[in-house]
């Protein structure tokens, strides 16, 4: 009995220690964002003695974070809107409608899931250049849609395969076309799954650095991650407390999403392991 209790206590200590390591760097950044730079160097561990919101105002205005947040919102929402429209259709067609070359079509749509977008950075940039879409939100959105579709389709297919065949058969007997079956019956059933895909994609696009870094040029178009980097390497390179505020601002939307949709997000992310 005593040994059992001792084991439990030890387990508790280990879990508390791991939690502390996980949460400490984030908490430190929150505290730092309310300090002055002088205080940061003199008291790197202390609580802010005279908490100031000045860093947040600086990050939003001079640090361009306000503009970047709006840009990221535009880009992320446009991307998930297009994906939510296109992916369920393709997933439904390739899992529930019989047509020639269906397997080939399905494989082509999913293959991108196994390819690193980094490999094709050069030709992708040239493509956007030919389309006249360098340094535009449209070019960024189209690239995000293209590269996020494979996962979205894979995830949606798993759902459509699980819908009982009898539902589709009785709709056919009632004389509905493939398209009406999709829009009147399947789409409403798929809404919760579409929401999961939309949330996962939103977080992915909101956090993406690579495409924005390569395709965007002007700060007025910057999304949040590239603007963060720009803020820390530019004129305010030594203003660590303002940078801390910018980091906190940048993380708020995804942390809010995570607290509301934790279960959906974890399920969607785990699927990446079992989707293959």
Partner 1 sequence: MSLPALIFVGLFIFYPLAQMFYLSLFRWNFVSPNLVFVGLENFRRMFLDDPVYLRSLLNVALLAGQSSAIQIPIGVALATIILRYRRVGRLFWAIIFLPYVISSVAVSLVWTWMYNPYFGSVNVFLRAVGLGFLARPWLGDINTALIAIFGTVNWIYIGLTTTMTIATLRSIPPSIFESARIDGLSGFQEFRKITLPLLKELIVVLMIIDISGAFKFFDLIWVMTQGGPSDTTHVTTTWLYRAAFRSSEPGYGAAIGVTVFVFSFVIVQFMIKVVRSKLTR
Return the residues of window 78-137 that contact partner 1 according to CB under 8 A: 85-87, 89-90, 92-94, 97, 105, 108-109, 111-112, 114-124, 126-127
Q: How far is the CB of 109 from partner 1 (least distance, A)?
A: 6
Q: How far is the CB of 18 from partner 1 (least distance, A)?
A: 7
What is the tally of helices (H) and strands (E) in the chain?
A: 13, 0
Site residues (CB under 8 A) for partner 1, limited to 197-236: 203, 206-210, 213-214, 224-226, 228-229, 232
Query: Nearer Cβ to partner 1, position 78 or 243?
Result: 243
Site residues (CB under 8 A) for partner 1, limited to 20-39: 21-26, 28-29, 32
Which range in 54-62, 160-168, 190-198, 240-248 contacts partner 1 by CB under 8 A? Answer: 240-248
- CB contact at 8 A, 249 and 56: yes
Site residues (CB under 8 A) for partner 1, limited to 46-85: 85
CA distances from 126 to 121, 241, 272 (A): 9, 38, 30
- When asked if residue 45 is in the footprint of partner 1 (CB under 8 A), the reply is yes
- When asked if residue 273 is in the footprint of partner 1 (CB under 8 A), the reply is yes
Q: Which of 6, 9, 13, 44 binds partner 1 (CB under 8 A)?
A: 44
- CB contact at 8 A, 62 and 217: no
Angle at 269 between CA 201 and CA 116, to 5 degrees: 65
98/134 Cα distance (integer angstroms): 40
Site residues (CB under 8 A) for partner 1, limited to 130-189: 142-143, 145-147, 149-150, 153, 178-179, 182
- When asked if residue 242 is in the footprint of partner 1 (CB under 8 A), the reply is no
Token pair, residue 70, equals: 């709006």
Diameter of the chain measured on Cα atoms: 77
**What Rg, from alpha-carbon coordinates, does the chain have?**
24
153/113 Cα distance (integer angstroms): 10
Query: Nearer Cβ to partner 1, position 56 or 206?
Result: 206
Token pair, residue 237, equals: 């390179």
Query: Nearer Cβ to partner 1, position 16 or 191?
Result: 16
């Amino acid at each position: 009995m005593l040994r059992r209790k001792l084991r439990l206590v030890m387990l508790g200590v280990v879990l508390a220690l791991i939690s502390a390591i996980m949460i400490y760097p984030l908490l430190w950044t929150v505290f730092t964002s309310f300090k002055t730079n002088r205080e940061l160097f003199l008291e790197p561990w202390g609580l802010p003695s005279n908490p100031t919101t000045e860093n947040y105002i600086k990050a939003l205005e001079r640090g361009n974070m306000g503009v970047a947040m709006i840009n990221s919102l535009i880009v992320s929402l446009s991307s998930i809107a297009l994906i939510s429209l296109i992916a369920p259709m393709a997933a439904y067609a390739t899992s529930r409608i019989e047509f020639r070359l269906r397997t080939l079509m399905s494989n082509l749509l999913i293959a991108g899931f196994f390819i690193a977008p980094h490999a094709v950075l050069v030709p992708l940039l040239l493509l956007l250049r030919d389309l006249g879409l360098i340094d535009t939100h449209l070019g960024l959105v189209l690239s995000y849609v293209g590269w996020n579709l494979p996962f979205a389709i894979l995830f949606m297919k798993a759902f459509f395969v699980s819908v009982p065949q009898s539902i589709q058969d009785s709709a056919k007997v009632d004389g509905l076309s493939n398209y009406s079956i999709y829009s009147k019956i399947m789409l409403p059933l798929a809404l919760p799954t579409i929401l999961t895909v939309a949330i996962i994609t939103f977080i992915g696009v909101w956090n993406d650095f690579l495409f924005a870094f390569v395709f965007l040029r002007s700060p007025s178009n910057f999304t949040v991650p590239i603007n963060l980097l720009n803020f820390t390497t530019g004129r305010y390179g030594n203003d660590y407390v303002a940078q801390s505020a910018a980091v906190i601002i940048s993380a708020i939307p995804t942390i809010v999403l995570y607290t509301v949709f934790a279960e959906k997000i974890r399920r969607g992310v785990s699927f990446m392991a079992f989707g293959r």
